A and B are shown apart, each in its own frame.
Chain A
């Protein structure tokens, strides 16, 4: 089954949500997507939250947990109110190129009997909601330890509506990138590139943490980070295999390639450190895992197992170098390395999907080009268009949003407050009282 399937499902839904009985519910598909929805929510709380919490200094541990938790709540409501209809909205007419229509504002026309593809429309809406939660939560890593909580809430709300939801429409909602044949099964462009590019812009606009580059800022509790990483891996099965929006061969293959890529990415990063630094680190192996997962995400509906191993290995090595480069050469304080892991991985994976979807590569063959495309070159052009357009759009709009929020409430806490730590200053609490 082609990655375009999600779009196709939605086009089907265009008529479905207007005339509620147009589609048939498949119970197996429904059961799997119910499960996947829970898995993807599990990625953010507690997976990503713990992963990030362990990486910051102890005085900021609660602030990061709070940001992820509050975003889970807030993004759910924003998605309910407006986000969903911008991404997938339909009153039964053909979908627009740029955004959906406002037929599903406040989840209007989504009732118990509405069907999207072969699953209840309610289920599709909440499954997609979990993606709309984790994407802004990923950005938290870039501005960790210095952003005002109010500014973070305001920025994330605007960002979800103006960046995430439209791009989601372009790729999955029947918009122009999906129609062009972009293969992005589970969110290389929609999730990882948007989040990571926004992260990079945020890190640059806000500037580095006080003492970045001179004061040691080691992770305060890698045990939390490793626990969170394990949860991310498990949850990612729902993220990628759930993106088939069906319980079928495509979902099973997505799960298989996801797992292989994670394993290969983890070992590749570990190996790089072992060779270059002399010791394999725990943080290294789990970061390589995230790189492998982020990179296979767009390709998980396009490639076979052998290609997945190649993609994972490439991700581990490339993201390893990207992380060092950003930190030590460009001196950008993307505090928890969102861009070099998710952004570089997302772009790499989106491009590699264009190569390894070919059916002519022997054991490395994938599931075929999109309709109307007959060569690797042709598919790569579409993939590159997806990457570049998502990147440029995200850079410009995120920059404007950050400046706007800065003018309204101020993005950063005072230097004095930053030194004290956000837990006490913003929340009147301490993470640890030992």
Chain B
């Protein structure tokens, strides 16, 4: 099992969810987050006072999936979340030790 963490542009969230649904990935956790990478922040100006806001708003989604689904999921996210401009975001893949469905007590891939 793997945990896929994708940081994407907020306006791409609906497209990414649809694309993942189409390949049969039906669950995810979404958060609104702030951060920066190469894109850096932006400046805000209030009556001549300039503030550099270093963090950009992004959406972070986390998907727990089986090893077999990883390549498809990455492909699906990349295909719809890409605009070609700086700031499209990143995908991280990490190993997932265990998963448990609380209602039934199922474990492992059965619980995904």
Chain A residues at the B interface, C-beta cutoff of 8 Å: 216-219, 273, 277, 279, 281, 283-284, 287, 320, 323-324, 327-328, 337
Does B48 lie within 8 Å of A219, measured CB to CB? no
Does B44 lie within 8 Å of A327, measured CB to CB? no
User: A283: which B residues are within 8 A, CB to CB?
Assistant: 46-47
User: A327: which B residues are within 8 A, CB to CB?
Assistant: 47-49
User: B46: which A residues are within 8 A, CB to CB?
Assistant: 218-219, 281, 283
Q: Considering the chains assembled together, what is the distance between the CA atoms of A14 and B47 in angstroms?
A: 46
B92 at the binding interface (Cβ < 8 Å): no
B51 at the binding interface (Cβ < 8 Å): yes
Interface majority SS on A: helix, strand, loop or mixed?
helix
Does B47 lie within 8 Å of A323, measured CB to CB? yes
B45 at the binding interface (Cβ < 8 Å): yes
Q: Considering the chains assembled together, what is the distance between the CA atoms of A97 and B84 in angstroms?
A: 74
User: Quick one: which of B44, B47, B52, B53 has the most chain A CB within 10 A?
Assistant: B47
B residues 37-93 in Cβ contact with A at 8 Å = 44-49, 51-53
User: A273: which B residues are within 8 A, CB to CB?
Assistant: 45
User: B52: which A residues are within 8 A, CB to CB?
Assistant: 216
Question: Given A218-B46, A323-B47, A328-B48, 5 other A-B contacts at CB below 8 A?
Answer: A216-B51, A216-B53, A218-B44, A273-B45, A287-B47
Q: Considering the chains assembled together, what is the distance between the CA atoms of A337 and B47 in angstroms?
A: 8
Does B48 lie within 8 Å of A323, measured CB to CB? yes
Q: Considering the chains assembled together, what is the distance between the CA atoms of A189 and B95 in angstroms?
A: 72
User: Quick one: which of B48, B51, B53 has the most chain A CB within 10 A?
Assistant: B48
Q: Considering the chains assembled together, what is the distance between the CA atoms of A217 and B45 in angstroms?
A: 11
User: B44: which A residues are within 8 A, CB to CB?
Assistant: 218
Q: Considering the chains assembled together, what is the distance between the CA atoms of A168 and B27 in angstroms?
A: 70
Minimum-distance CB pairs A-B, first 6: A324-B48, A216-B51, A323-B48, A323-B47, A327-B48, A277-B45
